Structure 1
């Protein structure tokens, strides 16, 4: 089947209730998706391609949906479409040009500032015109505003939306806003931002997006933990020695030095992405799969995290980072960090959770590594070869594998470390794994907040890291230089060893080839 036929088939099978937050009440009003910051990199590289893929799969039927781009840049509809076009065809080249052209015709552009009424009044006029053309009953239409913008303009943009662009009444319709990270720079700024937005919108209308929560293997964590009998008795302090959650990039800031230096690796990666993953690894079983029940359990984990100790932190900065002309000569911003967290509850008391992230390292990957304790009474003397580990590779080459000891094939009774392997590329050859932004935008349309960050969750996360971040900002903690292409500072490996992590020597997991 060609990709054009596939898209057509998916559109024909589209059901209106797939938009609904309530499975029993189909939503019938037309949908307007507004991408604010439409001319920026995030919108071009992530937001519009995600919308295009949803369109190809039938989740954005052209008879109900219109997409609006809004930004300060003074360009025409066609100029915006031309800017977006290349990102659509390069993301999934199998998409036929006919689908790309039809999708681009759904996009209209409105130019205006982010703090003045004129632009938003014009935007509302265009949205209303679209709704009228679809004969949508007033009040039944749906308006989704995606803020692909710096957080500094969130308050003014939200005020303009609230005053000029809201769905006019409540007859099954809604207005929702999606805000991108970073949500502030510390607890104080995050709370101020939350208060400003919270005065304008109710919590069910606010979708704080963290794209890691849309990744396939992250979404699999709840299924793995709570639907497999053999994990239930193992997932605790009696069997698990330590947990690592790792993010590694093999390149530096590459032109984003000025932006990155304002935040650093902890704010950029650890405080949000890796901490969200930790919550899913460590949380208790929720009462149900309702979003609030799941988010309740995540908040309990965050509230159980003990204050971070300085001696359980290693910071690094790769050599050459300050050569970027947009980075201050005396920058103290870490490009690498290893932080050990401890969860003070019955399940996890004494188990270190090691969060590790860095740029310009020897490899690129993101993974969860659960290391189990040594086998008591080890008659095979396997200890030197390494421990059992359960590894969830989030990216690239999505996979789950269990490292275990087996007999080396042959006449001798010797052991070797091997694995039980579920590699997605091999097992699911004919399944396209959706991008995180596709899934999360669709969740927003459906009104499912399970994979979005709640306000109290955000506050609890910042409470953990704000004291450490302030000590770094004040120069009380200094990053250690490390060479690009290395594992990072040697002190980080020493810290892992002190925490109890046992590194495996002589074993390398190799992703299966098709």
Structure 2
């Protein structure tokens, strides 16, 4: 069968049965995938449906209107400072209706159940309240666990990428801290080998200049014994000056966070510094409170950056910008129009490379209460006062505080067949390699809408998606006819993509309905140059945000407390772990969570 493309001029209006600027186009390549034409607002939108013959555009548009019920008012997608661009990104200043004042607001609720178009930017776009470019202050980065896997794969390559882009301070040093002994030159060679394995390649950037700024402090770092760190820091400060800022980056196991925090205080490394904690920040409400009490005792909150790197995926940031920059999208972002919200992180890999860690943690603690809760809160949050770092973090935290306590009956845990045969996994392990749950957000915008979260290993495909499943028509000729629901979906894989699925009339004498998908790739835009259009990896964003003091991509303490509180009941009454076949979407009970609907990925 050949697809029938419909081409709509950018900004074309579909409302009240009228379509402006619609013209049929000749048949194109087969398939239902397509791309929006160029820039923030493309010159055209092309929708291909799995159809067979030519048919009048008027009939198709009527079907779109009756089934999708969406007004298309143009599309614009924001970028939070692309990797090669200088200055702040194109985010607009959002001034919604009723809201709590200021970035410190604990609750942000809509003024009514059905938000109007005022939910999106009603005023001309302004730059958000954030620093442009990078800090000019001399900075010493201390990476604790510098020879570990996290540092080799993600943290060190991100530093080199920032150097390649010219986004590090003019004067800086990177000090690797570890228990072993290495000379500065040996550490430089260690990082060179890491870049050659994971990229960017040393030959792709200023390696010689970069490597001269690398130092190593062995002997470990504890409250009783700082090892070589104080001496190496003194060396770096002597080179850079007394005004040097220190950034502590804890790329170490979470169990070492508490003792390392105490060591900062013991050795006078707190004043004027910043500290970055990897996830998980605690493993339960009790351990969270214990760790945070010590962190708050030692540091001021403004000094603390708690990572959840999924918040820094560019496609995850696009969820925010697409929602608030496009009135038609903002208008459907509520319980009147949305039947379900789904957050899916699926992997085909097993856990062979990290079996001992994973068996002690499991999918729920590793993914659901951390990454997926934060992603769900990004969807659920109320429009912030602006897109500045304080406001975004506060809006996300407020959404997490609206999460209802998780009911163990609405959680499914699974373990793929063959898991216990992996080296390092006990034969009798009951660790979950898949977790899925139904979360409820008790506020006026989302009351009654299930948020379905799922993550697992050895699943049917590698996918990372945030999807809004829209409601079926409730009036008109298609009401109650079982029309397949329209969807708005963001793919987080690679550079990301924005997909909109709508129902149209099937061409031909027999007629009927067919569903097609329009896709906007988010990894490049025409006319912006090869560097500025190139997506940056999450850790590149995160490290630069630490430099500028921008906390928008980091988790807030109140949101983390709310997340751990939400799962307390579940933690005391975990359901039985169910088996599932490798290469599937999990146990049958997972599908029951989505009833009477179904998972977007299936």
Query: Which one is further off, 107-116 or 94-103?
Result: 94-103
1:501 lines up with 2:598 in the alignment:
yes
Q: Measured at CA, do residues 97 and 59 of structure 1 come closer, stay the same or move farther in structure 2, by a change above 3 Å?
A: closer
Q: 2:176 aligns with which of 69, 81, 85?
A: 69
Q: Which residue of 2 aligns with 1:49?
A: 157
Query: Which one is further off, 148-157 or 354-363?
Result: 148-157
Q: Which residue of 2 aligns with 1:216?
A: 314
Separation in 1, partners of 2:599, 2:213: 54
Q: 1:389 aligns with which of 487, 504, 510?
A: 487
Q: Which residue of 1 aligns with 2:411?
A: 313
Q: Which residue of 1 aligns with 2:358?
A: 260
Separation in 2, partners of 1:503, 1:32: 46
Q: Deviations over 1:75-105 (max 9, x none)?
A: 2223222222233234445652662333222
Q: Measured at CA, do residues 148 and 27 of structure 1 come closer, stay the same or move farther in structure 2, by a change above 3 Å?
A: closer
Q: Deviations over 1:464-484 (max 9, x none)?
A: 113212323xxxx21111111
TM-superposed deviation, 1:325: 3.6
Q: Which residue of 1 aligns with 2:206?
A: 99
Q: Deviations over 1:215-242 (max 9, x none)?
A: 0011122212222111222111111000
| Mapping for residues 145-164 of structure 1, pairs under 5 Å | 145-164=248-267
The answer to whether the 8 Å contact 2:440/2:450 transfers is: yes
TM-superposed deviation, 1:126: 2.1
Q: Which residue of 2 aligns with 1:510?
A: none
TM-superposed deviation, 1:151: 1.6
Q: 2:244 aligns with which of 136, 141, 153?
A: 141
1:467 lines up with 2:569 in the alignment:
yes
Q: Measured at CA, do residues 288 and 380 of structure 1 come closer, stay the same or move farther in structure 2, by a change above 3 Å?
A: closer
Q: 2:145 aligns with which of 37, 43, 66?
A: 37
Q: Which residue of 1 aligns with 2:222?
A: 115
Secondary structure in structure 2 of the residue aligned to 1:208: strand
Secondary structure in structure 1 of the residue aligned to 2:156: helix
The answer to whether the 8 Å contact 1:386/1:504 transfers is: no
Secondary structure in structure 1 of the residue aligned to 2:353: coil
TM-superposed deviation, 1:273: 0.5
Q: What is the aligned residue count?
A: 476
The answer to whether the 8 Å contact 1:399/1:421 transfers is: yes
Q: Which residue of 1 aligns with 2:36?
A: none
Secondary structure in structure 2 of the residue aligned to 1:368: strand
Q: Measured at CA, do residues 95 and 423 of structure 1 come closer, stay the same or move farther in structure 2, by a change above 3 Å?
A: farther
1:190 lines up with 2:288 in the alignment:
yes
Secondary structure in structure 1 of the residue aligned to 2:444: coil
Separation in 1, partners of 2:207, 2:507: 54
Q: Which residue of 2 aligns with 1:242?
A: 340
The answer to whether the 8 Å contact 2:223/2:266 transfers is: no
| Mapping for residues 251-400 of structure 1, pairs under 5 Å | 251-377=349-475, 379=477, 386-396=484-494, 398-400=496-498
Secondary structure in structure 1 of the residue aligned to 2:569: helix
Q: 1:132 aligns with which of 238, 241, 253?
A: 238
Q: Which structure 1 residue ranges, 5 or more long, are not aligned? A: 1-9, 16-20, 169-173, 506-514
Q: Measured at CA, do residues 380 and 95 of structure 1 come closer, stay the same or move farther in structure 2, by a change above 3 Å?
A: farther
Q: Measured at CA, do residues 383 and 251 of structure 1 come closer, stay the same or move farther in structure 2, by a change above 3 Å?
A: farther
TM-superposed deviation, 1:28: 4.5
Query: Which one is further off, 380-389 or 76-85?
Result: 380-389
| Mapping for residues 219-234 of structure 1, pairs under 5 Å | 219-234=317-332
Separation in 1, partners of 2:176, 2:600: 49
TM-superposed deviation, 1:343: 1.1
| Mapping for residues 417-456 of structure 1, pairs under 5 Å | 417-425=515-523, 427=525, 430=530, 431-456=533-558
Separation in 2, partners of 1:245, 1:378: 31
Q: Measured at CA, do residues 157 and 350 of structure 1 come closer, stay the same or move farther in structure 2, by a change above 3 Å?
A: same
Q: Normalized per residue, which structure has more helix?
A: 1
Query: Which one is further off, 292-301 or 245-254?
Result: 292-301
Secondary structure in structure 2 of the residue aligned to 1:331: coil
Of structures 1 and 2, the one with the larger relative CO (CA 8 A, separation 6+) is 2
Q: Which residue of 1 aligns with 2:61?
A: none
TM-superposed deviation, 1:367: 0.3
TM-superposed deviation, 1:302: 1.7
Secondary structure in structure 2 of the residue aligned to 1:422: strand
Q: Measured at CA, do residues 466 and 82 of structure 1 come closer, stay the same or move farther in structure 2, by a change above 3 Å?
A: farther
Separation in 1, partners of 2:277, 2:357: 18
Please tell me the root mean square deviation across aligned C-alpha atoms, in Å.
Answer: 2.8
TM-score when normalising by structure 1: 0.86
TM-superposed deviation, 1:338: 1.1
Q: Deviations over 1:306-332 (max 9, x none)?
A: 222232221100111112242232222
Separation in 1, partners of 2:231, 2:298: 21
The answer to whether the 8 Å contact 1:111/1:119 transfers is: no
Q: Which residue of 1 aligns with 2:69?
A: none
Separation in 2, partners of 1:400, 1:29: 38
Q: Which structure 2 residue ranges, 5 or more long, are not aligned? A: 1-81, 88-128
TM-score when normalising by structure 2: 0.74
Q: Which residue of 2 aligns with 1:85?
A: 192
